Amino acid sequence: MRLTLYHIHASPFAEKARWALDFKGLEYKSELLIPGRHADTVEKISGTRTVPVLVDTDAPAPIADSTDILQHLERIAPDHALFPEGDDERQQVLEIEDWLDEQVVRPCARMNYSFLSEQPEAFFTYFSRGLSRTQKLGMAFIRPMLPRIVKQFREQRELSREAAKGYHREVDSAFERIERMLANSGGRYLVGDSFTAADLTAACMLGLALRLAGTPWEVTDAERRAYPGRVEPDELLDFRAELAGRSTTEWVAGLWRNHR
Ligand SMILES: N[C@@H](CCC(=O)N[C@@H](CS)C(=O)NCC(=O)O)C(=O)O
């Protein structure tokens, strides 16, 4: 069995797959793609245009969805389980994972990208992270088109400071819902008494909202330079401060510390 993961650095879905592979101690070849060009590359491999895509030489076809990748990894490497054995608990994990993937990630990303995309240079550095020297040279060609790319990125995703207020409210209510779930499940994990795919997914999606140090989304020096004297704009820092008041923030940081 040989595993290859096609991914981009900043994708929270890709981080789910990387985390699960590492958690299970599986070796894999990493094919880190240039953001923006990744969809064309993976389409040739899997027929779909999103990352992550996992190719397992023993599987009948490439696996092109983070949830399916986690379940495939569970089948081929059941140790360090990410899914509970009981049907009810397993179903709960899948439902939480689905909610986070389908509803929570969007405002988490958009809240940050509303601000990041105001600074094309910082935006460029953020999406170049992890790339090889050759790939970065390739990225240099798109520099002249950067203002147009950023404008399109903002329009397609409805990014603006006004819209960011709504994204922040959505993120905050997701944090609140997690707080309630944890209160019902003993405080440590979302389902049962061990780390599952639900916790892993929450750590990725909410980790993106928080842009915690040590995660793929930590704030870069280029961003610090873009906002002299502070890490990010005040308005965004105010959103973060509100989220930090929720116990979910400390819980997410703990998952990164203890399970990543
Ligand atoms: N349901 C998919 C969603 C994956 C997804 O939306 N990936 C984004 C990157 S975060 C992507 O590749 N979008 C296509 C694009 O950017 O053109 C999964 O769980 O893997």
Question: How does pLDDT run along the chain (260 residues), one tens digit per residue?
Answer: 899 999 999 999 999 999 999 999 999 999 999 998 999 999 999 999 999 999 999 999 999 999 999 999 999 999 999 999 999 999 999 999 999 999 999 999 999 999 999 988 889 989 999 999 999 998 888 888 999 999 999 999 999 999 999 999 999 999 999 999 999 999 999 999 999 999 999 999 999 999 999 999 998 877 788 777 677 889 999 999 999 999 999 999 999 999 99
Q: Residue 101: CB within 6 Å of ligand 1?
A: yes
72 and 93 inside one domain: no
In one-letter notation, the amino acid at residue 15 is: E
181 and 150 inside one domain: yes
pLDDT value, residue 87: 97
114 and 212 inside one domain: yes
The alpha carbon of 183 and the centre of ligand 1 are apart by a number of angstroms equal to 31
pLDDT value, residue 221: 78
Rg (CA), the chain: 18
**Nearest ligand 1 atom, CA 102:** 1
Structure tokens at 202: 């929450």
Q: Residue 149: CB within 6 Å of ligand 1?
A: no
pTM strictly above 0.75: yes
* Residues with Cβ within 8 Å of residue 251, at least 6 apart in sequence: 178, 182
- The domain that contains 177 carries what CATH number? 1.20.1050.10
Residue 239, helix vs strand vs coil: helix
CA 86 to CA 131: how far, in whole Å?
41
The alpha carbon of 184 and the centre of ligand 1 are apart by a number of angstroms equal to 31
pLDDT value, residue 95: 98
Q: Residue 219: CB within 6 Å of ligand 1?
A: no
Q: Residue 4: CB within 6 Å of ligand 1?
A: no
Residue with tokens 């203002």: 147
Q: Residue 65: CB within 6 Å of ligand 1?
A: yes
68 and 107 inside one domain: no
pLDDT value, residue 141: 84
Q: Residue 50: CB within 6 Å of ligand 1?
A: yes
The alpha carbon of 84 and the centre of ligand 1 are apart by a number of angstroms equal to 26
Question: Minimal CA–CA distance to 199: which of 210, 209, 216, 187?
Answer: 187
Closest residue by CA, ligand 1 atom 2: 65
Domain limits at 36?
Answer: 3-76
187 and 211 inside one domain: yes
Residue 82 lies in a domain: no
Q: Residue 46: CB within 6 Å of ligand 1?
A: no
Structure tokens at 72: 């495939």
pLDDT value, residue 88: 97
Q: Residue 163: CB within 6 Å of ligand 1?
A: no
